[in-house]
Amino acid sequence: MNAASSARIPITDEVLKLSVGIRLEAGVDEAQIRALIDQFASELCRGEQPQDIVGFLTVEDVPQDRRAEFLQAVDGLASVGRVNVRRLLSVVDVWPSRVR
């Protein structure tokens, strides 16, 4: 697949959510991701929100023509030092009656 044909394939909301989720698990601060979403969200979405209602834009608000650039920006975010490390399960966790 060449670059010209891949540019025509739409980037789904699920791909954006997955990318954001991966970065959150890697330790990227949620505020950094929210700032990126605000930066890339459609002008129409920002203009539709009433001034007296505070809400968050979501990845679905990033227009299709800016999604590739958004993914690159999300990928470039650095973690803030805390990493959500998942503990591996041991035999004791899985089958405690078999361990003496």
Q: How far is C-alpha 68 from the geometric centre of its chain's CA atoms?
A: 13
CA 50/CA 56 separation, integer angstroms: 12
- Structural domain count of the chain: 1
pTM score, two decimals? Answer: 0.63
What is the phi/psi pair of residue 45, to 5°?
-65, -40
Six-digit token pair at 74?
A: 């999300």
Which residues are CB-contacts of 38 (< 8 A; sequence separation ≥ 6)? 46, 57
CA 37/CA 3 separation, integer angstroms: 25
Encode pLDDT of 10-35 as tens digits.
Answer: 899 999 999 999 998 888 899 999 99
Ranges in the chain, pLDDT < 50: 1, 4-5, 50-54, 84, 100
Domain hosting residue 13, numbered range:
3-98
